[in-house]
A and B are shown apart, each in its own frame.
Chain A
Amino acid sequence: MKTFRIGGVHPPENKIAAHKPIEVLPVPATVTIPLSQHLGVPAVPVLGKGDQVKTGQLIARGEAFISANIHSSVSGKVLKVDDMIDSSGYRKKSIVIQVEGDEWVEGIDRDSTLVKECQLNASEIVKKVHDLGIVGMGGATFPSHVKLMVPKGKKAEVLIINGVECEPYLTADHRLMLEKGEEILAGIAIQMKALHVERAIIGIEHNKPDAIKHMSELCSHYAGITVVDLEVKYPQGAEKQLIKAAINREVPSGKLPIEVGCVVHNVGTSFAVYEAVQKNKPLIERVVTVVGRSLKNPSNFLVRIGTPVDALVEAAGGMPDDTGKVISGGPMMGKALNDLGVPVTKGTSGILVFDKDESFRKPVLPCIRCSRCLNVCPMGLEPYLLAVLAEKDRIEECELERIMDCMECGSCLYVCPSGRPLLDHIRVGKSRVGKMIRERS
Chain B
Amino acid sequence: MNKLIISGSPHVQTDESVKKIMYGVVLSLVPAMLVSFYFFGLAAILITLTAVVSCMAFEFVIQKYLIKGPLTILDGSAIITGILLAFNVPSSLPLWMVVIGSAVAIGMGKMTFGGLGKNPFNPALVGRVFLMISFPVEMTNWPKPIAFSTQLTDVVTGPTPLAVMKEGVSQGEHVADILPEVPGYVNLLLGNMGGSIGEISALAIILGGLYMLVRKIITWQIPAAYLGSVVVFSGVFWLIDPTQYVDPLFHLITGGLMLGAIYMATDMVTSPMSHRGQLVFGIGCGVLTMVIRLFGAYPEGVSFAILIMNAFVPLINKGFKPKRFGEEVKHG
Chains A and B touch each other in the complex, with CB atoms below 8 Å apart: yes
- Identify the A interface with B (CB < 8 A): 6, 9, 11-12, 168, 240, 244, 250-253, 255, 319, 321-327, 329, 331-338, 352, 354, 356, 358-362, 365-372, 374-375, 377-382, 384-385, 402, 405, 408-411, 413-419, 421, 423-424, 427
The answer to whether B11 touches A336, judged by C-beta atoms less than 8 angstroms apart, is yes
Is B332 an interface residue when CB atoms closer than 8 A count as contact?
no
The answer to whether A334 touches B9, judged by C-beta atoms less than 8 angstroms apart, is yes
The answer to whether B10 touches A331, judged by C-beta atoms less than 8 angstroms apart, is yes
Q: Which residues of A contact B13 (CB under 8 A)?
A: 361-362, 413-416, 419
The answer to whether B11 touches A325, judged by C-beta atoms less than 8 angstroms apart, is yes
With both beta carbons as reference points, the residue of chain B lying nearest to A254 in the complex is identified as B326
Is B21 an interface residue when CB atoms closer than 8 A count as contact?
yes
A325-B10 in contact given A251-B326, A380-B327 (Cβ < 8 Å): no
The answer to whether B14 touches A415, judged by C-beta atoms less than 8 angstroms apart, is yes
Q: Give, as a whole number of angstroms, the nearest-CB distance from A173 to chain B.
A: 19
Contact with B6, one of A11, A332, A338, A416 (Cβ below 8 angstroms)? A338
Contact with A along B311-332 (1 / 0, CB 8 A): 0000001000111111110000
The answer to whether A324 touches B273, judged by C-beta atoms less than 8 angstroms apart, is no
The answer to whether B9 touches A365, judged by C-beta atoms less than 8 angstroms apart, is no
A352-B11 in contact given A369-B268, A369-B269, A418-B18 (Cβ < 8 Å): yes
Is B156 an interface residue when CB atoms closer than 8 A count as contact?
no
Contact with B116, one of A332, A358, A366, A405 (Cβ below 8 angstroms)? A366
Provide the bound-state CA to CA distance between A154 and B14, in Å. Answer: 42
Q: Which residues of B contact A416 (CB under 8 A)?
A: 13
Contact with A323, one of B2, B9, B268, B326 (Cβ below 8 angstroms)? B2
Provide the bound-state CA to CA distance between A163 and B271, in Å. Answer: 40
Is B20 an interface residue when CB atoms closer than 8 A count as contact?
yes
The answer to whether A325 touches B14, judged by C-beta atoms less than 8 angstroms apart, is no
Kindly identify, within residues 112 to 132 of chain B, every residue whose CB is under 8 Å from any CB belonging to chain A: 115-118
Kindly identify, within residues 1 to 28 of chain B, every residue whose CB is under 8 Å from any CB belonging to chain A: 1-2, 4-14, 16-18, 20-21
Provide the bound-state CA to CA distance between A378 and B323, in Å. Answer: 10
With both beta carbons as reference points, the residue of chain B lying nearest to A384 in the complex is identified as B273
Nearest 7 Cβ contacts at the A-B interface: A410-B10, A366-B117, A380-B324, A371-B273, A332-B10, A370-B268, A379-B325
The answer to whether A380 touches B5, judged by C-beta atoms less than 8 angstroms apart, is no
What would be 16 A-B contacts, judged by CB atoms less than 8 Å apart? A324-B2, A326-B4, A332-B9, A332-B11, A365-B116, A366-B118, A368-B269, A369-B271, A370-B268, A374-B273, A375-B219, A375-B275, A380-B323, A381-B324, A408-B9, A411-B10
Is B75 an interface residue when CB atoms closer than 8 A count as contact?
yes
Contact with A421, one of B8, B14, B18 (Cβ below 8 angstroms)? B8
Q: Give, as a whole number of angstroms, the nearest-CB distance from A146 to chain B.
A: 21
Is B243 an interface residue when CB atoms closer than 8 A count as contact?
no
Q: Which residues of B contact A366 (CB under 8 A)?
A: 115-118
Contact with A365, one of B75, B270, B321 (Cβ below 8 angstroms)? B75
The answer to whether B8 touches A359, judged by C-beta atoms less than 8 angstroms apart, is no
Given contacts A332-B9, A381-B324, 16 further A-B contacts (CB under 8 A): A6-B323, A250-B325, A250-B326, A253-B325, A359-B5, A360-B5, A368-B116, A369-B270, A371-B268, A375-B322, A379-B324, A380-B323, A416-B13, A418-B117, A423-B8, A423-B9
Provide the bound-state CA to CA distance between A369 and B1, in Å. Answer: 40
Provide the bound-state CA to CA distance between A421 and B20, in Å. Answer: 19
Inter-chain contact total with CB atoms closer than 8 Å = 167
A382-B323 in contact given A326-B4, A423-B9 (Cβ < 8 Å): no
Contact with B328, one of A252, A322, A378, A418 (Cβ below 8 angstroms)? A252
Is B150 an interface residue when CB atoms closer than 8 A count as contact?
no
Q: Which residues of B contact A371 (CB under 8 A)?
A: 219, 268, 272-274
Provide the bound-state CA to CA distance between A191 and B18, in Å. Answer: 49
Q: Which residues of A contact B7 (CB under 8 A)?
A: 325, 336, 361
Provide the bound-state CA to CA distance between A367 and B114, in Å. Answer: 12
Q: Which residues of B contact A424 (CB under 8 A)?
A: 8
- Identify the B interface with A (CB < 8 A): 1-2, 4-14, 16-18, 20-21, 72, 75, 77, 115-118, 219, 268-275, 317, 321-328
Contact with A380, one of B77, B219, B271, B325 (Cβ below 8 angstroms)? B325
Q: Which residues of B contact A409 (CB under 8 A)?
A: 10
If over half of A's interface residues share one DSSP class (helix, strand or loop), that class is named, otherwise mixed; here it is loop
Provide the bound-state CA to CA distance between A336 and B12, in Å. Answer: 12
The answer to whether B9 touches A417, judged by C-beta atoms less than 8 angstroms apart, is no
With both beta carbons as reference points, the residue of chain A lying nearest to B116 in the complex is identified as A366
Provide the bound-state CA to CA distance between A309 and B269, in Å. Answer: 45
Q: Which residues of B contact A333 (CB under 8 A)?
A: 9-10
The answer to whether A415 touches B16, judged by C-beta atoms less than 8 angstroms apart, is yes
Q: Give, as a whole number of angstroms, the nearest-CB distance from A380 to chain B.
A: 4
Contact with A378, one of B5, B10, B325 (Cβ below 8 angstroms)? B325
With both beta carbons as reference points, the residue of chain B lying nearest to A413 in the complex is identified as B10
With both beta carbons as reference points, the residue of chain B lying nearest to A234 in the complex is identified as B10
Contact with A417, one of B5, B17, B271, B275 (Cβ below 8 angstroms)? B17
The answer to whether B9 touches A253, judged by C-beta atoms less than 8 angstroms apart, is no
Provide the bound-state CA to CA distance between A9 and B321, in Å. Answer: 20
The answer to whether B12 touches A253, judged by C-beta atoms less than 8 angstroms apart, is no
Q: Which residues of B contact A368 (CB under 8 A)?
A: 18, 21, 77, 116-117, 268-269
The answer to whether B9 touches A255, judged by C-beta atoms less than 8 angstroms apart, is no
With both beta carbons as reference points, the residue of chain B lying nearest to A360 in the complex is identified as B5
Q: Which residues of B contact A240 (CB under 8 A)?
A: 325-326
With both beta carbons as reference points, the residue of chain B lying nearest to A402 in the complex is identified as B324
Q: Which residues of B contact A415 (CB under 8 A)?
A: 13-14, 16
Q: Give, as a whole number of angstroms, the nearest-CB distance from A390 to chain B.
A: 13
Provide the bound-state CA to CA distance between A335 and B72, in Å. Answer: 33
With both beta carbons as reference points, the residue of chain A lying nearest to B318 in the complex is identified as A385
Provide the bound-state CA to CA distance between A341 and B11, in Å. Answer: 21
Provide the bound-state CA to CA distance between A361 and B11, in Å. Answer: 8
Q: Which residues of A contact B18 (CB under 8 A)?
A: 365, 368, 417-418
With both beta carbons as reference points, the residue of chain B lying nearest to A407 in the complex is identified as B325
Interface centre among A250, A319, A366, A416 (most CB of B within 10 A): A366
